[in-house]
Amino acid sequence: MNIMEDFPILYALATGLSFIVAILLCIAGIVCYAKFRSPQSMLLLVGGLLVFGSHGFQFLGPLLAARAGSDTLIRMTGITGIVSGFSYLVFALGLILFIISLKKKITE
């Protein structure tokens, strides 16, 4: 088994799985904001949309940067990693704040 022969399949599976996760996080943010109009749910919505948008950026950015050369590709890979990490951070902060606000409402 040659890893280079399996790479396109592995890459397609990883891309497909991360796309499904991005869609689910986006849907979760939309549903949460539709049911609970709060700053915390807005943060979830923004985070979900950023995750979905950054997924497209993660996919297309390196493809376009590869045409300019390996240095640009490496730089673009780093930038897309930062953008993706920030998107997940926004969603995670929204989730934590949302859970804290729900817990406060339940105990009141």
**52-83 pLDDT per residue, tens:** 988 888 878 777 787 888 888 888 888 888 99
Q: What is the pTM of this model?
A: 0.78
CA gyration radius, the chain: 17
What is the reported pLDDT for 1?
56
Interior CA angle at 58 toward 64 and 51, to 5°? 145
Q: Where are the domains of the chain?
A: 3-107
Res 9 pLDDT > 60: yes
Of all residues in the chain, the percent with pLDDT exceeding 90 is 35
What is the reported pLDDT for 108?
66
